[in-house]
C-alpha cells in the first residue's frame, strides 16, 4: 500500500489508509509492520525470499 510520492507524515498516511481503505473493507484492527526483525511485532509475518512464514 505504500506510495512513494506521499508527502505527509507517516501518521497522516496511516490515518488515511485506516479510514479510506481498511475500515470500508471491515478491517477494524491492524498494525503497521516494522522494518527490522528486532522490532517485529508478536504476530507479524516473517518474509524470506518469495515465501511467507506466519508466526
Q: What is the pLDDT of residue 55?
A: 59
* Averaged pLDDT for residues 28-50: 78
Cβ atoms of residues 34 and 43 within 8 Å: no
Q: Which residue has the higher pLDDT, 9 or 42?
A: 42
* Averaged pLDDT for residues 13-40: 86
Q: Break the chain into its structural domains and give their ranges.
A: 10-53
Q: How far is CA 24 from CA 3, 17, 19, 30, 36, in A?
A: 20, 10, 7, 13, 30
Please state the φ and ψ torsions of residue 9, each to the nearest 5 degrees. -70, 165
pLDDT tops 70 at residue 21: yes
Q: Which of 8-12, 18-22, 48-52 has the lowest mean pLDDT?
A: 48-52
pTM, entire model = 0.48
Amino acid at each position: 500500500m505504500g506510495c512513494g510520492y506521499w508527502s505527509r507524515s507517516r501518521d497522516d498516511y496511516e490515518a488515511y489508509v485506516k479510514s479510506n481503505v481498511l475500515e470500508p473493507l471491515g478491517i477494524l484492527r491492524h498494525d503497521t509492520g516494522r522494518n527490522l526483525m528486532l522490532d517485529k511485532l508478536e504476530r507479524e509475518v516473517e518474509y524470506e525470499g518469495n515465501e511467507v512464514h506466519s508466526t
